[in-house]
Every structure is written in structure tokens, then in C-alpha cells.
Amino acid sequence: MIGWLRHQKHALSAALRRLRAQALTTVLTALAMGVAISLPSGLYLVLGNLDRLAGGLPAQPEISVFLDAGASTAQQQAIAARLRQPDIVKARFVPRDEALAALSAAQDLADITAGLTENPLPDAWVIRPHTASRDELARVAADLGKLPGVAETHVDSQWADRLQAALAIGHTGVWLLAGLFAIALVAISGNAIRAQVLARRDEILVSRLIGATDRYIRRPFLYLGALQGLLGGLAAGGVLAVAGAILRAPVERLASLYGSAYHLLPPSAIEIAAVLGLTTLFGWLGAWFSVTRALHQVEASR
């Protein structure tokens, strides 16, 4: 056990020495990895922010029922009676005057409403149905639309649904991209380690002759790959931090135009740890493939 720990420590310090001895190569490899990793993780962050934006919207779907301007009192009463049925949780009547007043109070629209000679808005009900399923909502909305005196119904959750669907595609895309770039990471690491193994051919051959096991020979290269992966992950963090710093001001300006105090959400500690852990793992994996193959070549060329 102590011998094993000593071997690990020895291999780790050997790997660190090699990284330092070839600082330029190390930095370039880390940058190549960092750029590759920053693409999927950057997209992941953008989607996380969009999710949060979409999450701020009312989750409960509402249906707006706009009444015909010429609806009779009897028709109106029949509609009100229908809306007291148990499939409707809440129904609020919005008279046309109140709607216009609300519109006038809203930012920047006062100018438009002030120019109106008469109120173009219909009376309306805003209802919250019992169901949240999309099909059920559509059915309730169609049902209500057939009532006499109803001009139009509108399911307000529609665009939120569309956004959710678009985000779901985005999430799938992130995983696809992440998979592709994981392969790229393994390839970059494997290539870097292969060069290292071939450069240390003599050392490997001599070590073999004086009793080194394959594991002993492989170990420093595996540490090298893992460390290189970790540095790649850190480089990706750097790339994203710079991108975030550049984007912060424009995003906040855009948000302020919408009257919101929206800020870019930085990644959580768990997400950062996950990315660093994965890049370390893939760096190690690339090194393992490469060193195993290169050791066979070294053996064959002896």
C-alpha cells in the first residue's frame, strides 16, 4: 500500500516535471482542449440562462376568451354559467374599459391608446382551467370557442410551450456536441501523449530491461494525460469567463430595454467540478489508449 502510494507520488511528480519542462506545448494543448470544451459548455450555459428566463413566466396555462362585441346579455350569462363548471379553476371577467385602462398604464403604450377615438378592445374572460395538459387545454379552448357570443379563444401557454420545445432541442444538441467534443478531447490528449511516449523511447526500453512493469511505465503518462485534461478544462473556464465578461454589459442593456434586471447566471460549483472532472477523465482515457498502443510499437521496434 505504501509502495503503491509512493509509486503514485513518483509518477505524479514526474508528470508535473514533464508538463513544466515543455511549458509551450502544455499551454498550446490546453488551449486546443479549452476551445473544444468551451463550445458545448458555453451552449449549456446559454441554455441554462434561457431556461431561467422561460421559468420566470407563469407556469399555469391560461385561456383568454374574447367576447363578441354584439353578444347579448343572455349569451353573456350563459357564458358566465359555463365558466362556473368544475373544469374551470378560476375565471376573471375583464371588462373592455378595464383592459384599455391597463393597456394605457403599460409602458410606452399610453401614446397609442390616447390616439384612439373609441375602445377597440372586447370584453374578455381570463380563465384558468383545471387541466394542464396541452391536448386538454386545446379541447377546453375549442369548447368555449363554440359558445354563442364568443368571438375567439386563445391559449396563453402556447408560446411558452414552443420555447420549451425549442429549449429541449437545444439540450439534446448540447449532449450531442458534448459527445463529439469528448471524442476530440480524447484524440487531442492521445496525440500529445503519443509524442511523449515516442520521445521517451530510450527510457522505456531501459526501464523494461531493469525490471519495470508495464504499469510502472504507463503511470506517469496517464497522470500526464489527466493533468493535461484538467488544464484543458481550466482553459475552457478561462475562455468562458472572458466570453461572459464581454457579453455581460450587452445582455444587461438588452434586459433593461425589456424593463428587467436580468443578469447572466454563472455556472454553479457542481457544474464547474463536473466539467473539470470529465475533462480530466477524458484526458486520462486518451492517454491510456495512446500509451498502450505506443508501448506495443516501442516493444516491436526494439
Name the residues that contact other proteins, by CB under 8 A.
3-4, 6-7, 10, 202-203, 205-213, 216
**For other proteins, the closer CB: 6 or 90:** 6
Kindly state the smallest distance separating residue 212's Cβ from other proteins, in Å: 5
Kindly state the smallest distance separating residue 208's Cβ from other proteins, in Å: 8
Distance CA 186, CA 290 (A): 9
Kindly state the smallest distance separating residue 223's Cβ from other proteins, in Å: 15
- CA 38 to chain CA centroid, Å, is 12
Distance CA 240, CA 38 (A): 6
Distance CA 288, CA 221 (A): 8
Kindly state the smallest distance separating residue 2's Cβ from other proteins, in Å: 8
Are 42 and 243 spatial neighbours (Cβ–Cβ below 8 Å)? yes
**For other proteins, the closer CB: 216 or 289:** 216
Kindly state the smallest distance separating residue 216's Cβ from other proteins, in Å: 6
Kindly state the smallest distance separating residue 34's Cβ from other proteins, in Å: 29
**For other proteins, the closer CB: 70 or 211:** 211
Kindly state the smallest distance separating residue 200's Cβ from other proteins, in Å: 9
For the chain, the C-alpha Rg in angstroms (whole number) is 32
Cell, residue 168: 429541449
Kindly state the smallest distance separating residue 282's Cβ from other proteins, in Å: 28
Distance CA 252, CA 261 (A): 7
**For other proteins, the closer CB: 4 or 258:** 4
- CA 257 to chain CA centroid, Å, is 24
Contacts of 20 (CB under 8 A, 6+ apart): 26
DSSP string, 147-192: STTEEEEEETTHHHHHHHHHHHHHHHHHHHHHHHHHHHHHHHHHHH
**For other proteins, the closer CB: 6 or 130:** 6
Are 175 and 168 spatial neighbours (Cβ–Cβ below 8 Å)? no
Cα dihedral 11, 16, 20, 26, rounded to 10, equals: 100
Query: b or e along 91-114 (b: 16 or more beta carbons within 10 Å of the residue's beta carbon)?
Result: bebbebeebbeeeeeeeeeeeebe
Q: Report helix, strand or coil for 25.
A: helix
Tracing cell 379563444 back to the chain, one arrives at 153
**For other proteins, the closer CB: 216 or 262:** 216
Q: What is the side-by-side order of every strand in the sheet holding 88-94?
A: 88-94, 124-129, 63-67, 150-155
**For other proteins, the closer CB: 10 or 154:** 10
**For other proteins, the closer CB: 209 or 261:** 209
